[in-house]
Every structure is written in structure tokens, then in C-alpha cells.
């Protein structure tokens, strides 16, 4: 895997490689890629036929230029537009999508293209792994969260009433095309939700990147394309390294779940609606992970304070006050956490930290310590 992005034909477009042997693929990052998507997509097609799947929010902006680029390259295109929102990652929508794709009389050589955020990418990837027992697919992520996280690494799936992403498959894309200009259509809240995942990479094992974010976050958020491209490439390179070492999440890849064990429990309790976006849950969950690490004597209060100060400075939530937690209890949240995919022998998997850039995986945390932390957070953040 190339850890240093290599320049493409123009300085504003850069490419890095996810090294997985025969299933290796490129991540292309730059502004204006969707309008010229055929340049990168056509070479990875088995035959010149695609089905583009998007959602109702993304379609008006990016479906026409994507289809125009592909049709100009003599690619046969069909398109399916799904409802927007986290509820689309469901059994019902998965069934509907599979039926819609099959109605188009696709073949195994037809490529599915996921045009949208993490919901579309996860759902389409799972459909690609399932329809005809496996179809190729391409990721064209249009949110910051999907560009730096969910589009890379092949984890696909849907939510159930028992928890987030509990049904799915590992299915690597043939290509990831991250158009940084697409971020201009995001509202600030969605952009910030993605930024939480960017920060995660610095906190795991790259303190220099976290320091760079502290200095450059505002420019990145305000639309500086060079800084956005650098943040996306650095994040993707970090994830690509981990995926190349541990594709099926049997070890080191679990580090990428910093903040997620807590965050997924918060999402589950809010019902995956608009009250709490995934990235917002990750930011709170990361603060909880640093809090627990400090309580256990693993990291300093200075590091914890630096992390929470940065999240707060850019406007990400650091408490639960915006949520209706009146009926929440520590045991309810622990029950959600016990359904996590990474539970082993009944033990929860946590990503904790010995400081900024020093995250580690552990299953040796006493339930009472976690319960005490949750009790304190619920008490201090009660409405």
C-alpha cells in the first residue's frame, strides 16, 4: 500500500492504493471528479453497464453529471433513487433495492455504483455482496464521513432493532472516487459529523495529524480545498494501512472503532433518527473513551481536556444535553453495548488510550467501571 499519495495528472487530484492483492483498488481524491467520473470508472468495469444507486437528497446534485460522464463514454446506465436517512439501512430497503436491481436483468458483470453518503455506501455494498452471490461495485462518496471512513475498507451492512450494522458482509469496492467539491453541498452539521471521524485518525496513532487539525480545522471546515484534500488523504491512508493488515477486523482494525462502542449505544437509544448523527455519537463516544481512560489512570487529564476542547471548538457535541435522556439508564446503554459485533466471550471490546495517538484495544474493563462512567454522564447531562 502506498502510504504517501501519488500525484495524478493534475496537482489537485491525488491517488492512493489499498493493497489487498488481487482485490487492491485506488482511492482518488480531488475536486470535480464526479463530472469526469468515467475517466476512472470505465477502466474498472467488467462490461460497460452500471446501475447507479443514490438517495433523494444526493440525486438532484450529482446523479445527472455522473450519468452524463458515463453515457458519454458509451456506458449503459440505470439509476435507482432511495429515500434519504439512516432508516434506509434496513431490511425493508435492502429487500426493495435487491428486487429493483434484479428487475433490471443485471448480470454478475454489471457494476453497482454507490453515489451518496455512508448509508448508501453501506447498503449498496451489502447488496453487491448478495445479489447474484456477488457483483462488483464502486464507491462515489459525497459526504466527509463516507469519504474518510465508510467508503474505504469493505465493511457493508444494515441496521437492525438490535443495533447498528449487525447484518452485512465484507465486500471491497473496485474504486473509491472522493470528490471534495461535493462537500460544498453539505450543511454544517453533516460536515461536522464527518469531521469527527477525521479527528479519530489522529487520536489513534498520529499525534502530528491531530496537531495539524488543531491548527487547520477551521480553514478545512470553511472550505479550503487543499486542506480538505490533505485531511481526506491522510485519513484514507491511515485506514488503508490498517485494512491491508487486518481486512476482516480480527485484530488491529478494531482500533478504528475509537469512540464507537459508546457511540453506537447512543445511536441505538435514539433510534437512528435525526436527533444524533453518527459522527456526533462518535465525538461523544470518543470523549467517553478518554474519560474512562483517565479514570483508569491510563491517560492524563491534560490529553482528555485537549481532545474535548478541540471537539467543542469546532462545534461537535461533548455532552448529552441535546438529547432526551430522561428514561435512559446505564444498564440500558450497557445492554446496547453488549450486542456489539466485537463482543468476545461475553466481554465488551473497548478502544481506550494512553494519550493522544496512543490508542489500544482491551477486553479487560470491569462492567462496574463502565456503569459508573455512564451513570456520571447521565447525571451530569440530565435535562
The whole-angstrom separation of Cα 191 and Cα 143 is: 7
Total-model pTM = 0.92
Nearest to 99 by CA among 120, 82, 75, 74: 82
The whole-angstrom separation of Cα 113 and Cα 136 is: 9
Q: Is 253 a known active-site residue?
A: yes
Which of 197, 247, 269, 280 is catalytic? The answer is 197
Q: Is 336 a known active-site residue?
A: no
What mean pLDDT comes out for the span 107-136? 98
Q: Is 264 a known active-site residue?
A: yes
Q: Is 239 a known active-site residue?
A: yes
Q: Is 229 a known active-site residue?
A: no
Which of 200, 257, 267, 269 is catalytic? The answer is 257
Cell numbers placing 93: 430497503
Which of 14, 247, 249, 267 is catalytic? The answer is 249
Which of 22, 105, 133, 383 is catalytic? The answer is 133
Nearest to 283 by CA among 302, 301, 309, 303: 309
* Structure confidence by residue, pLDDT tens digits, 144-182: 999 999 999 999 999 998 888 999 999 999 999 999 999
* Structure confidence by residue, pLDDT tens digits, 42-86: 999 999 999 999 999 999 999 999 999 999 999 999 999 999 999
Which of 14, 57, 155, 267 is catalytic? The answer is 155
Which of 174, 227, 278, 304 is catalytic? The answer is 278
Q: Establish how many alpha carbons lie within 13 A of residue 63's alpha carbon, considering only the half-sphere containing its beta carbon.
A: 19
Which of 164, 200, 228, 264 is catalytic? The answer is 264
For the chain, domain boundaries: 6-192, 258-383
* Structure confidence by residue, pLDDT tens digits, 245-260: 989 887 889 999 999 9
Q: Is 197 a known active-site residue?
A: yes
CATH fold of 258-383: Dehydroquinate synthase-like, alpha domain (1.20.1090)
> Which CATH architecture best describes the domain 6-192?
3-Layer(aba) Sandwich (3.40)
Cell numbers placing 147: 469519504
- End-to-end distance of the chain based on CA atoms, in angstroms? 48
How many helices (H) and strands (E) the chain has is answered by 13, 12
What mean pLDDT comes out for the span 112-134? 98
What mean pLDDT comes out for the span 274-302? 96
Q: Cell 493522544 sits at which residue? A: 356
The whole-angstrom separation of Cα 368 and Cα 319 is: 21
Confidence category of residue 347, pLDDT binned at 50, 70, 90: confident
Which of 164, 227, 228, 239 is catalytic? The answer is 239
Judge if 6-192 and 258-383 fold alike in CATH terms. Answer: no
With contact defined as beta carbons under 8 Å apart, do 29 and 141 qualify? no
Amino acid at each position: 500500500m502506498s502510504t504517501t499519495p501519488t500525484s495524478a495528472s493534475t496537482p489537485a487530484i491525488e491517488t492512493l492504493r489499498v493493497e489487498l492483492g488481487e482485490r487492491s483498488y485506488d482511492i482518488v481524491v480531488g475536486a470535480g471528479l464526479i463530472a469526469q467520473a468515467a475517466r476512472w470508472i470505465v477502466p474498472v468495469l467488467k462490461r460497460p453497464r452500471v446501475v447507479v444507486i443514490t438517495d433523494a437528497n444526493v440525486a438532484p446534485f450529482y446523479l445527472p453529471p455522473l450519468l452524463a460522464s458515463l453515457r458519454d463514454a458509451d456506458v449503459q446506465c440505470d439509476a435507482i433513487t432511495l429515500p434519504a436517512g439512516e432508516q434506509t439501512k434496513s431490511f425493508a430497503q435492502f429487500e426493495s433495492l435487491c428486487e429493483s436491481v434484479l428487475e433490471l436483468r443485471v448480470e454478475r458483470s454489471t457494476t453497482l455504483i454507490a453515489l451518496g453518503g455512508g448509508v448508501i455506501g453501506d447498503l449498496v455494498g451489502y447488496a453487491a455482496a448478495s445479489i447474484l452471490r456477488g457483483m462488483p461495485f464502486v464507491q462515489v462518496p459525497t459526504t466527509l464521513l463516507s469519504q474518510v471512513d465508510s467508503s474505504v475498507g469493505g465493511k457493508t451492512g444494515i441496521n437492525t432493532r438490535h443495533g447498528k450494522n449487525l447484518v452485512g458482509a465484507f465486500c471491497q469496492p473496485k474504486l473509491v472516487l472522493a470528490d471534495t467539491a461535493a462537500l460544498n453541498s453539505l450543511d454544517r452539521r453533516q460536515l461536522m459529523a464527518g469531521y469527527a471521524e477525521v479527528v479519530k485518525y489522529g487520536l489513534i496513532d498520529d499525534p502530528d495529524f491531530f496537531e495539524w487539525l488543531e491548527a487547520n480545522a477551521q480553514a478545512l471546515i470553511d472550505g479550503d480545498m487543499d486542506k480538505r484534500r490533505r485531511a481526506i488523504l491522510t485519513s484514507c491512508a491511515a485506514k488503508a494501512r490498517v485494512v491491508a493488515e487486518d481486512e476482516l477486523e480480527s485484530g488491529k482494525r478494531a482500533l478504528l472503532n475509537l469512540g464507537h462502542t459508546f457511540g453506537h449505544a447512543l445511536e441505538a437509544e435514539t433510534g437512528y433518527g435525526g436527533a444524533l448523527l453518527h459522527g456526533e455519537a462518535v465525538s461523544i463516544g470518543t470523549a467517553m473513551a478518554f474519560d474512562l481512560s483517565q479514570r483508569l489512570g491510563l491517560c492524563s487529564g491534560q490529553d482528555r481536556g485537549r481532545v474535548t476542547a478541540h471537539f467543542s471548538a469546532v462545534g461537535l457535541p461533548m455532552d448529552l444535553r441535546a438529547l432526551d435522556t430522561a428514561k435512559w439508564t446505564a444498564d440500558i446503554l450497557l445492554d446496547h453495548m453488549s450486542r456489539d459485533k466485537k463482543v468476545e466471550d461475553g466481554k465488551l471490546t473497548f478502544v481506550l488510550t494512553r494519550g493522544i495517538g496512543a490508542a489500544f484495544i482491551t477486553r479487560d474493563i470491569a462492567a462496574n467501571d463502565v456503569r459508573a462512567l455512564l451513570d456520571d454522564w447521565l447525571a451530569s447531562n440530565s435535562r
